[in-house]
Amino acid sequence: MVLSEEKITHLSHLILNHLKTPERARLKVEEPVVLREIKRLLVDELRVESDVDVVVRRRLASYSKPLAEGSAEWETLYRKAFEEEMRKRKKV
């Protein structure tokens, strides 16, 4: 999924505002530092998902039986392959 810089900024502010509620957490660093870290994490996660998407699409394209993108079979295989690839890349 591709998000614009504005959308990433908006999401990071929403996350920060959620974190700032008194019952959640107290920030030990300045808000701009937290915002930068939230943005970095969002961008990194989106990059991983984009990379996985490319890998999965290549895998499905290599099948001997051509699959029509968007078909029920393609969607099922894509979802399963995407989840499998994401599990491989999960950080422990």
Instruction: Please determine, for residue 92, whether its predicted confidence score (pLDDT) is greater than 60.
Output: no
Domain residue limits at 38: 5-89
Query: What's the CA gap between 42 and 7, in Å, rounded?
Result: 11
- pLDDT tens digit sequence for 26-76: 788 899 999 999 999 999 999 999 999 999 999 999 999 989 999 999 999
* 86 Cα distance to chain centroid: 10
Is this structure's pTM higher than 0.85? no
Instruction: Please determine, for residue 90, whether its predicted confidence score (pLDDT) is greater than 90.
Output: no
How far, in Å, are 4, 13, 55, 62, 87 from residue 39 at the CA level? 12, 9, 24, 35, 23
The label of the residue with tokens 């959640």 reads 24
Give the total number of structural domains in the chain.
Answer: 1
pLDDT of residue 91: 58
